[in-house]
Structure 1
Amino acid sequence: MPEKPRRRQHLVSRGYQRNFAADNTWVSVLDVHSGQTVCARRSIGANWRIDDFISAIFPDGTVDDALEREFGERERVFLRVVREIRLNQRVGPEQKDALDDLAAVHLARNSAFKVAHQKVVRGTLEQEWPKLAQDERLILTFARQWGRSPEPGELEAIVASAGNLFVSSPDFFTSGVQHAASGFRPLLAKWRVQLVGCADELPGFVLSDNPVVHGRRREGLFGFLRAGAIGGADMIVVPISRRLVAFYSARKLPDILIQTKNSVQWVNAILMQVAEREVLCHPDDEQATSRLIRNLDRYPAAKFDSINIH
């Protein structure tokens, strides 16, 4: 494999960020913990990028960025379709598929999933290692290869070493992202979509560095590290643009147009639940976003309901 230069890969795709930007380019970025402005005017091309986040980097220095290129090709397709979604218009099958694809890619390609993925896989392996080491087939295979029975603890050490080698392999996370993104799609497909828009004269919706929200709202638990897997969620929210958000629901609910600043803040408070470090917004919304972050405790997720949106 020929050596490739390192690539600065977006955690949140540039095309996705464009839906929230001024002049399709500029966003304000704020610290989600303090509400302080990190950058009042940052280009989406430079925002939220990490070297080879989903590339496989091999010991000889070669870099396989095939998954990033695959996601880039898919994003060009599904973002074009997602931008056609309109409030109070039926979300057709093609649009729902595109929205699910947008959500699946961004659920799998983020820092929280990386931590949770390694934790889950390592935990599973550690549970299975002792069982595998006691498997009669493995014991017989060892005896045939070495002409003797394994010493006490020898097979356990061999299996643990193989497991550690697997977890530390260059393409471990990349393979996990690819597998997860594919697995999220059928789970998301089971949900219906309720669109929530906001009036043009109001501050708009935000986008976080972990843009797609999933969790157990009534318990106030969100994201992979606290709420766990997608299958256990009672709330999934996919921001679409500065003026439109998709709430996934078990049954079809009517679309809503928000017409008060307070309702916008309630929705944005939900969109911030899984943010790791930063949120972005349209530059005109910077002050309102900062104020919300500083007063986020006034908008507890457990109390969020359609009654808050009007």
Structure 2
Amino acid sequence: MLDPFSEMHHLVSKAYQRNFANDVRRVTVIAARSGEVVDRARAIKNNFVRAGYSAQIDRAGVADSRLELEFSKIETPILHQIRQITPENCGPELSAAVVNLFALHLVRSEAFEAKHNRIVDDLRREWLPDLASKPELRERYAADFGTRPTDQDIIDIGERILIENVRTNRLHVGGMVRMHNKIANQLAKFHVQVITSDQLEMGFALGDVPVVHANIKTARYGFRDNLAIGDADLIVGPLTRTTAAALSVRPRKPIKLTVKRRMQEINAVFARAALNEVACHPDDALEVRRVCQQLDRLSPNRLVDG
């Protein structure tokens, strides 16, 4: 049987990374907390990948990587649209493309997976003992096995089901699908604000968690910090080397960055939200390194206050 967990899947898609790469599709990879260069020219096909992230073994025991293919089908036209966005050109169709790109990458990250695993642990502690009190389950057990179950009998069955769904990655893949749809609907209620850096000699960085939802007041960043989308006061992500987008409840005018400090503050948010690394165009590496080295001096408050 084909092992679905041997195939390499991109956490940040290759086509998305291409928007930040040089002509030979290479990016510089930098440690987000220290600013150290991890790789000066890494091929995007090998960057931000994980074996079998979106794969599962279905109930027939067959390897299934369809979710990765479905994500790719959705993403191809989206990224074509993303590259057309400018401060003067971001109508409803292009705004919807931003929302879809953000939703895809919010569930396509190890931060989301870690949050998912915490929920599974909560299920094990809270849900399994609760099963033992369900009369319908106790009656079904008695009918199937001809004996009255103990609480532990019911818990053991629930534990086996949970372990099987974790082992085959079905629980994670199903959660990605459900949360992608939920997040896309949630983000569709926001307005898209375009941010450009064409007038500066530096570009946006792309984190291993590229789409940031943060609560600046409490200094919490994303699923890593158990932050729900609805509790964020900042949702922002880079689109290309020179374009980013933020989501807001009310319409906001586009921002054309002309001051390097403002650009640094935005890249600092991308670095803080990353789990480990950020990537950038090799020509932007020096500036991105400086940002990562001075995160404590680059306040994100202006991004929320306007």
Shift of 1:77: 0.9
Deviations 1:117-162 (A, max 9, x none): 1211331353222222111111222222333322353323333333
How far apart in 2 are the matches of 1:41 and 1:306? Answer: 34
How far apart in 2 are the matches of 1:2 and 1:8? Answer: 13
Shift of 1:288: 0.9
Match of 2:49 in 1: 49
Match of 1:264 in 2: 263
Equivalence map 1:233-244=2 (5 Å): 233-244=232-243
Match of 1:73 in 2: 73
Match of 2:139 in 1: 140
- Secondary structure class of the residue paired with 1:202: coil
Q: For 2:205, give the aligned amino acid.
A: V
Contact 1:227/1:233, CA 8 A, preserved across alignment: no
Cα 1:288/1:133, change in 2 over 3 Å: same
Instruction: Give the RMSD, CA atoms, in angstroms.
Output: 2.3
Q: For 1:211, give the aligned amino acid.
A: P
How far apart in 2 are the matches of 1:152 and 1:44? Answer: 52
Match of 1:305 in 2: 303
Residue segments in structure 1 that go unaligned for 5+ positions in a row: none
Equivalence map 1:1-310=2 (5 Å): 6-23=6-23, 25-57=25-57, 63-87=63-87, 89-151=88-150, 153-301=152-300, 303-305=301-303
- Secondary structure class of the residue paired with 2:261: helix
Residue segments in structure 2 that go unaligned for 5+ positions in a row: none
Shift of 1:185: 0.5
Q: TM-score, normalised by structure 1?
A: 0.91
How far apart in 1 are the matches of 2:304 and 2:234? Answer: 13
How far apart in 2 are the matches of 1:300 and 1:266? Answer: 6
The share of aligned pairs that are identical, in percent, is 32
Cα 1:277/1:147, change in 2 over 3 Å: same
Q: TM-score, normalised by structure 2?
A: 0.92
- Secondary structure class of the residue paired with 2:273: coil
Q: Which moved more, 1:222-231 or 1:188-197?
A: 222-231
- Secondary structure class of the residue paired with 1:196: strand
Contact 1:18/1:24, CA 8 A, preserved across alignment: no
Q: For 2:288, give the aligned amino acid.
A: T
Cα 1:167/1:257, change in 2 over 3 Å: same
Shift of 1:169: 3.1
Shift of 1:81: 0.9
Q: How many residues are paired up?
A: 306
Deviations 1:9-66 (A, max 9, x none): 2111111111112226121111112111111122222212222221115799953211
- Secondary structure class of the residue paired with 2:196: strand
* Structure 1 stretches of 4+ moved >4 Å: 1-5, 57-62
How far apart in 1 are the matches of 2:228 and 2:76? Answer: 27
Contact 1:107/1:210, CA 8 A, preserved across alignment: yes
- Secondary structure class of the residue paired with 1:105: helix
- Secondary structure class of the residue paired with 1:219: coil
